[in-house]
Amino acid sequence: MFSLLIAPSSLLAEALNKYLKREVKDVLIISGEVPLIRYQIQPGKFRLKTEKVSSGQEVYEVLQKAKESLILIEHDPTFYDYNADVIRTIGLLSRKMTAGNQTILLLGTRPDTWLNKFESYVHKIENIEWTIQDKQKSSLRSAMRCNQISLHEFIKTGSVLS
């Protein structure tokens, strides 16, 4: 599955750390010059590989070689400032890769113009939010293809992965 996950970096890190405690064997993190999530990932049973990139073209080139079962792409809007056409290329390659046994999560800390352009390529879009119920019970809000989900519910279901 190719999913877009949008949340503040602290929520993304917490959700991913809880998910990665499950049995994930190989993880690749693709990030830019200023990673928001990469340094917050806690060690686990998985093998972690990181790739630092500075453009959308480099994201595409790293994806072409990637063999890991879970690929996390930290979204950086500057990747696409000078080559917006690469979004289509990345989107099509990601869909092709996830038709096999790979999962790709595109991680954004807030919606922006470039993330919106990925919408036609991703299988699922999730917005993770803090809610008062995170400390009690979870809540789930849906809007067509885009779901807003509490952190508790994301962790409980691993919803972008199913």
Q: Domain map of the chain by residue range?
A: 2-131
| pTM, full prediction | 0.78
Residue 159 has pLDDT above 70, yes or no: no
Q: Architecture of domain 2-131 in CATH?
A: 3-Layer(aba) Sandwich (3.40)
Per residue in 49-93, pLDDT (tens digit) is: 999 999 999 999 999 999 999 999 999 989 998 888 999 999 999
Mean pLDDT over each residue of the chain, to the nearest integer: 79
The token duo for 65 is 């070689």
Residue 162 has pLDDT above 60, yes or no: no
CA distance 65 to 61: 7
Output the pLDDT for position 104.
Answer: 93
